[in-house]
Structure 1
C-alpha cells in the first residue's frame, strides 16, 4: 500500500517541477557521426563552421564558451560573451551558461543554461537541446521568445553544415557588421 502512494507522490512532484520550469526543448537529426557533431560544438573552429563568425571554446568544466555573433562589437556586446561550460561528458553531454541578446539588457545581466545531449541514431546523430532557467517578469518573456526563434536556426545551420560538407560562409555577415559599425561610429 505504501509503495503505490510513494510512486504517486513522486509522479506528482515530478510533474509539478516540470510545470514550474518550462524549457525550450528541440531535437534534430544530423547526418554526421557523434564525434563530428561533438567537435562542431566543442571547438572554436567547429562553432565557426555553423553558429557564429568567431568563438573561443575551451572544452572543459568552467572553460570558456564565448560565441561572438558580432565580433566587432564592444566587449560584453559581441554575443554570448563570458559564457562558461558547466558540464561535459565526452560525446554525450555539453552544458553551458547562456545570456540574452544585447537589446535585452535586463535579461542579459542574468544567465540561463543550455544542455546538449548527443546520441547515435542510424548513421548520424540525434542532438537534443534544452534551454532552461527562464524568469517570468521583465524582459524574460522577450528573451525566451527570441530563443524560441533563434535555436531552430542554429540547429538548421548545423544540419546544413553536415549535409553540404561545407562550413557556413560568414563573409557577407561580416561585411554587414563592418558597415553597421562604421555607420554607428559616424553618428
Structure 2
C-alpha cells in the first residue's frame, strides 16, 4: 500500500514538473546600469546577489519561477525586461509596468473566435510559439528608487524574497502583479471610450 502511494506521489510530482511553464528573463539593459548595475549590495532576504544588478535579476527570475510553477505550458515564455529611470518625486512614483508584446486571434486551438489572446496564452493554447523570435512580455521598472531623498523621501526597492521590506518597497509582489498583466490578466479595450482593439474583444474582457 505504501509503495503504491509513493509511486502515485512520484508520478504526480513528475507530472506537475513536466507541465510547469519555463519563464526566462531577457535582460536588455546596457552595461553598468539596470540589471548590470555593479554597485555592491549585501545579500538580503534569501537573495544571494552581491550587486544591485544581480539582486534585481535574481528577483525577476524568482518571480518568473513562481508564475511558471502555477502555469501549465510547454512553450517557453520570454520577458524582455529592464530597469530604467522612470518618474519619481517626493510624493509619488511610477513603480513599473508589464504587458504583452504580441497578441493573437483566430489561431489553431483558439477557444473563442474573433478574440484576442495575450502572446504567452495563445502560444500555450496553440501548443507552439506563434511569434518566434519575439519576446512575449515587456517589463520596465523604476531604477530611480535607490534611496535618494528626492524620490519617495528616500524609500527604495527591497530585493529580498521574504517580504521583510520595512519602510522600503518590496519588489516581489509588484513584479508578480505586473507579470500577471503580461500573462493574460489585462484587457485591450480602450478604457476612455470602450473601443475594442482592431475591432475585436479580448479573452480577459469576455470574462468581466
Q: Give TM-score scaled by structure 1 length.
A: 0.28
Q: Give TM-score scaled by structure 2 length.
A: 0.26
Higher strand share: 1
Which has the greater radius of gyration?
2
Higher helix share: 1
